[in-house]
Amino acid sequence: MNIKHRNGIYTIDSISVKEIAEKFGTPCFVYSDLSISRNFEEIRDVFSDDKKSIYYSVKANSSLSILKLLSSLGSGFDIVSMGELDRVIKIGADPKKIVYSGVGKSEKDIKRSIELGIYCINVESFSELERIKKIASELKIKAPVAIRVNPNIDPGSHEYISTGLESTKFGINLKNMMDAFIYADEAEYIDLIGIDYHIGSQIETLDPFIEAVSSVAKIIKELKKKDINLELIDMGGGLGIDYEGNKVPSMKEYGNALIKAIKDNNLEEYKIILELGRSIVGNAGYLLTKVEYIKRDSEKNYVIVDAGMDNLIRPALYGAWHNIICASIDSNEEILCDVVGPVCECADFLGKDRKLSVSQDDILIITSCGAYASSMASNYNSRPKPPEVMIKNSEVKLISNKESIEDLFSREIII
C-alpha cells in the first residue's frame, strides 16, 4: 500500500491526506499514478510479448486520465458499452486494441464497432451472433468475433460477480456453444477469430483460472476436429485484491501460473488477452470523507460521514469490506461503530462494527476504492458526484471536477 503514517500524519505517495481534503473538499477520490503504473507493469513484465497482451477493463474505473495513463503503458481496452468506447477513443486508443463484451449489444452498437474496426466482438448469445451476421452482411465488412463460452467454473467469489457459472446470463453454455462456433465459422461476413471467457471477479486463488484454461483447451481440441481453427483466447479478468488482509496471488504469480497453464495445455500458438480491471486500479484509489457527527447510542455508535452509498455502493451491494482509517491521530478512546453515510437508506453504510478513535470533522480514508467505486457511483438523494484527483510526480492533480447541481439539472426539462 502506498499509504503511510508518520508523526501523526497520513500520506498517500508522500502527500498529506489532510491537505488533499482541505484543498479539494470531501468526499473526494484520490488515485496514485505510481500504483496504477506499478500494477500494470507487474503483469505486463511477465505477461506481454507478441502473443500476449493486457487489456484494461474500463468498467473498473473509466476516468479519462486513468485510461490515458494505461494506454501510454501499452494497454488495450475491454469495453462493454458505447460510452466506454467513446472514452477510449477520446484518449486516442487504437481500435485494433479494443475488445467488446456484454450481453446486450444493440444493432447500432454492433454497426459502430464493425465500422470502427475494433479487434474483436465477444459474442454472448446465439441471437447476438445472428444479429452480427445480418449487420456485417449489409455493411459487407467481415466482423471479427470471439465466442464467449460459459465454462461453468465456480470462482469462489460473491454470487453477483461469479460470471462463469452456467446459471448466469453470460456467455454461451457448453451444451450450445458448438452450434455457435459452427454458425460463426460458416458465415461469410463473420471472421471467427477466437474463444473468450470471464469466470468472475475478486477471485482469490489461482485454481479457477487454471481450471478454465484446461477447460478451454478441451473445447479448442474439439473445434480443431471440426476444422475450426482460432487465433485468440481471451481469458477475461478477475484477479482479486487484498481488501482486508486476505491473501491473494500477486500479479506476477497470476501471470506465471497462466503461462504455465498455457504451456501445459499446448496453447502456446494462440494470441492471449487478459481483461484486468480491479487488480490494476483497485488498491491505487482512496475515498476521503469527513466525519460530520458521532452519534452515540446505547445499542450502537454511528460515525456519520459525508460520503455515502452513492459514492461507494460496494458495501451495500455485496457486503464488501473496505478498510477505514482515521487520518487524524486521535487521543480519544476507540469506539465500536458503524461508519454510515447521509443517504436515507439503512444500506447506506461504508463499514460495520469498526473500532475507530474519531472526533467530529476528522478525515477518514477508505481504502481500495480505485475499482468499482467512482464507476458505480450514482446521484441518489440528488447528491453531486465528488471530485477526483490523481497524485502524479508528487503533485495532486484534479482529474474530474466536483459535479455541480447545475450539472444535475442540465438534462431536465420542467414542463
| Contact residues: ligand LLP, CB under 6 A | 57, 59-60, 78, 101, 161, 163, 198, 201-202, 236-239, 275-279, 314, 318, 371-372, 376
CB of 232 to ligand LLP, least distance (A): 14
210 or 398: CB nearest ligand LLP: 210
**Would the CA dihedral through 79, 272, 181, 228 be positive or negative?**
positive
Q: Angle between the 64-72 and 33-46 helix axes, to the nearest 10 degrees?
A: 40
Catalytic residues: 344
Spatial distance between the Cα atoms of 159 and 155, rounded to a whole number of angstroms: 10
First to last CA, the chain: 51
144 or 277: CB nearest ligand LLP: 277
Q: Quick one: 353 exposed, middle or buried, by C-beta within 10 A (0-12, 13-18, 19+)?
A: exposed
3 or 161: CB nearest ligand LLP: 161
Degrees to nearest 5, angle at CA 179 with 176 and 182: 150
Question: Which helix (H) or strand (E) segment is 352 a member of?
Answer: strand 349-356
- Nearest CA to 92 among 129, 60, 67, 128? 67
275 or 348: CB nearest ligand LLP: 275
CB of 109 to ligand LLP, least distance (A): 15
CB of 310 to ligand LLP, least distance (A): 15
Spatial distance between the Cα atoms of 127 and 97, rounded to a whole number of angstroms: 25
CB of 373 to ligand LLP, least distance (A): 8
Cβ contact 390:65 at 8 Å: yes
The single-letter DSSP state of residue 203 is B
SS3 readout for 221-248:
HHHHHCCCCCCEEECCCCECCCCCCCCC
20 or 132: CB nearest ligand LLP: 132
Cis before 342 (ω within 30): no
223 or 251: CB nearest ligand LLP: 251
CB of 84 to ligand LLP, least distance (A): 11
CB of 284 to ligand LLP, least distance (A): 13
